[in-house]
Amino acid sequence: MRKRFALLARFVVDANGNKIGESISFYEDMLIIKKGKDYCAIPLKHVELKDGKIHIKGIVTWDKAKELAKGWLKNV
């Protein structure tokens, strides 16, 4: 659990190191990211903490990530 909380309040970057957003919460087995004005949910198995930033592994379908985050928004 402690390892999981180390992922909060971190910048999230893509494979090229470009900033995507910030991690703000968890929902089920996903990390919630604030990306601009949107909220997105990324499965924890697709993120890793490296050099103080969260790196997303693989390709993200952002429309699906936004849809997954709606469950979190209903419970906030």
- The residue-averaged pLDDT of 38-67 equals 95
pLDDT confidence tier of residue 71, bands split at 50, 70 and 90: very high
Which structural domains are found in the chain, ordered by start?
A: 2-75 (3.10.20.840)
Position 4 scores a pLDDT of 78
State percent of the chain over pLDDT 70. Answer: 97
Strands 47-50 and 38-43: unpaired
- Give the Cα separation of 65 and 61 in Å (integer): 6
Specify the pTM. Answer: 0.91
